[in-house]
Structure 1
Amino acid sequence: MSKPDAFSAYDPILAQTPSSDPWLHGPGEARRYGPDFDLLGKLLSVPVQSGEVSESGRFAKGIDAWLSHELRRSGFGEDEVWPRATRPRVLPRDLAVLLDKLPNKVADEVRRRLPQLPSVGPADAKVLGRAYYKQVDVCIARWDRGPELLISTKAQLSSFGKNLPNRFEEAYGDAANLRGRYPLAAVGFFFVQRATILESEPDAFERTVDMIRKLRDLEGANGYTATGLALVDWSGSADELPQVNLHSDEIPDDVGPAQFLSAMIHHVTKVTPVVHHVAVRSKMERRGIPVAEQDSADAMAEASGAE
């Protein structure tokens, strides 16, 4: 299409990863989500091996790419979740539907031009909150439904205790900004730290866990719908490339990635009618749901017929 973007290095890995069922529970059992931690390690190994490790940039994009893949695993459509697995990363679903309907030659030409039209296919998803625009790292939105899921991701790889208050302040402000305008949306905060914090600054890790819990919504106080924490680390000698590994055992279950994804997905279904996100509900509820997915065009047709 055009020159590579910040996600391009992850495309081959995602293309080779099957979209397996993420839910581990059986019918009638309590919800239990199983994140693909192996994939997260592979994605984050890309910037580590290339020496592009920073708290923003390609490392952070790897987190976004992983969360987007997890949402697609759960049943959300390929064009519903941004960033998309292919360029353009942000593409209104209605435009994606139009491209599928166009003759191949015309559709290919439109796709070629999209990167040159940032107002149509922007590189990042920016949404208006109550007080200011916010770049959202992972998003599910449609014109007929509005924003349904908004996730902010942050990485912290060093200077943990020193910078933690700033992360807390920024995150809390973003939660109030987004929830103030979109009270029904699933608004989440996902934090990734390097596991060296456990030995170098154990006090900062305790404060981190406390922060992740306190950022959640309490009695309508405009906190996040869900928050989550992941610990990663890597090492390598001159003879081998470093591989990123997850440290899951050190994270309390109530702040881990599994509960975060489960809570975010469940909230989206909880605040929408059963005729929306049918595939997501069927996977999560472990049953076939006997309704068809309703689109905005279907709803308008039904309303016209009723009149």
Structure 2
Amino acid sequence: MPPDAPELTTLQRALMDFAFPVHSVQSSRHIRRLHWYVSCRLVIEGGFNPRNILPRPPILVERKGKRRILHHAPEAAKGGERTILGGLKTKQLDVTVTIPAVGPVLAVSLKGTNNAFRNLTNRMEEAAGDCTNIHMAYPALVYGFWHVLRANEEDYPTEGGNLRLKDGTYDRQDVAILRGGRPLEAVERYSEALRRLSGRNDLREPPSTYEACSLTLVKCRSGRDETAVYSEFPPSEAELDFNEFFSKLYASYDRRFIYHAPALKSRTRRENWDPESPLLVDTVLGGEDFGEITPRTT
């Protein structure tokens, strides 16, 4: 079955599809909508041209003089992942910004885990190896890693997707948050590992670290329609906060491709959108659904 076309999506809808998937998690479709969320956010907030992003978000840019006007355009959307040459092997990147005559400049890798959290040790090794492979071939690439975990709370067991309860409780290996709200030790260790894998500021620094990492637990105790970010861990002010994650990616990109490479600025500078753009007025700014996103406007 071909992948669904990307669509403008809220974070809440993306997390809902992840925590309560309607398709097998082996198909990766439970995480696909988060790919679309990232690609749309890179346009609206990041100022990247949608034609340079894959998956191609359902957004068009209309140019009127100095104005850059955003329109919602489902017909413009295109799914897929970009395959690039790594230092050790080729790699399919989940979300990629590629600028003509410059190459891939920013990418985000997304992972999702619904259960078996004691296996997170393996994810640490995979994340470090993946980052090294990409940065060996593209040391200037701004690379981010965002991992979402289903916050299976021992106090509030909730079925979802292929996750089944036994006598009304989670299997012990599927618990992420222990009774009383304490994170599983494996989850705490994993969050600390991601902190150490984050913060690469200069392309001459070791290739094994990302420019930014984020860990988001998904609260699902109240069922599918009440899916939300689990705010108790990691705390919102922590280094792994997903909103801070995007800010770090933009800052790294600007340092590398704007301030340190002024000769490329005409190609690499990020756009400022007209605040009266129909996409912003009618959708993004029309309610609270996109409240975590601050559009990049003039």
Q: TM-score range by the shorter chain?
A: 0.5 to 0.7
- 1:55 deviates by 6.5
Q: Are the aligned partners of 2:97 and 2:105 in contact in 1 as well (CA < 8 Å)? A: yes
Aligned to 1:20: none
| Matched letter for residue 171 of structure 1 | A
Aligned to 1:199: 178
Paired residue total: 226
- For the residue of structure 2 that corresponds to 1:224, the secondary structure is coil
- 1:281 deviates by 11
Aligned to 2:94: 137
Looking at secondary structure, tell me which structure has more helix per residue.
1
Aligned pairs for 1:79-90 within 5 A: 79-86=51-58
Are residues 1:182 and 2:138 paired?
yes
Give, in whole Å, the separation in 2 of the partners of 1:55 and 1:190. Answer: 19
Aligned to 2:219: 233
- For the residue of structure 2 that corresponds to 1:165, the secondary structure is helix
Are residues 1:155 and 2:126 paired?
no
Give RMSD over aligned pairs. Answer: 3.5
Give, in whole Å, the separation in 1 of the partners of 2:128 and 2:218. Answer: 24
Aligned to 1:279: 271
Q: Are the aligned partners of 2:93 and 2:107 in contact in 1 as well (CA < 8 Å)? A: yes
- 1:122 deviates by 7.8
Q: Are the aligned partners of 1:136 and 1:152 in contact in 2 as well (CA < 8 Å)? A: yes
- For the residue of structure 1 that corresponds to 2:3, the secondary structure is coil
Give, in whole Å, the separation in 2 of the partners of 1:231 and 1:170. Answer: 19
- 1:53 deviates by 5.7
Bigger relative contact order (CA 8 A; separation at least 6): 2
Query: TM-score when scaled to structure 1?
Result: 0.64
Give, in whole Å, the separation in 2 of the partners of 1:158 and 1:5. Answer: 26
Aligned to 1:76: 48
CA pair 282-185 structure 1, distance change in 2 beyond 3 A: farther
CA pair 173-68 structure 1, distance change in 2 beyond 3 A: same
Aligned to 1:256: 241
Q: Are the aligned partners of 2:36 and 2:57 in contact in 1 as well (CA < 8 Å)? A: yes
Q: Are the aligned partners of 2:83 and 2:93 in contact in 1 as well (CA < 8 Å)? A: yes
Q: Are the aligned partners of 1:55 and 1:154 in contact in 2 as well (CA < 8 Å)? A: no
- For the residue of structure 1 that corresponds to 2:109, the secondary structure is strand
- For the residue of structure 2 that corresponds to 1:173, the secondary structure is helix
Give, in whole Å, the separation in 1 of the partners of 2:187 and 2:21. Answer: 27
Give, in whole Å, the separation in 1 of the partners of 2:37 and 2:297. Answer: 26
Query: TM-score when scaled to structure 2?
Result: 0.66
Are residues 1:213 and 2:195 paired?
yes
Listed one character per residue, the Cα deviations across residues 189-244 of structure 1 (whole Å, up to 9, x for unaligned) are: 1110111212275212211211111212568221111111111132467xxx5442
Give, in whole Å, the separation in 1 of the partners of 2:18 and 2:151. Answer: 17
Aligned to 2:103: 146
Q: Are the aligned partners of 1:139 and 1:150 in contact in 2 as well (CA < 8 Å)? A: yes
Aligned to 1:7: 4
Q: Are the aligned partners of 1:155 and 1:193 in contact in 2 as well (CA < 8 Å)? A: yes
Give, in whole Å, the separation in 1 of the partners of 2:79 and 2:217. Answer: 31
Give, in whole Å, the separation in 2 of the partners of 1:50 and 1:166. Answer: 23
Q: Are the aligned partners of 1:193 and 1:231 in contact in 2 as well (CA < 8 Å)? A: yes
CA pair 147-270 structure 1, distance change in 2 beyond 3 A: same
Identity percentage of aligned residues: 26
CA pair 280-266 structure 1, distance change in 2 beyond 3 A: farther
Give, in whole Å, the separation in 2 of the partners of 1:249 and 1:190. Answer: 18
Listed one character per residue, the Cα deviations across residues 140-187 of structure 1 (whole Å, up to 9, x for unaligned) are: 0133111101211111111112x1111111110111111111111101
Are residues 1:42 and 2:13 paired?
yes
CA pair 280-203 structure 1, distance change in 2 beyond 3 A: farther
Runs of 4+ in 1 over 3 A off after TM superposition: 46-50, 280-284
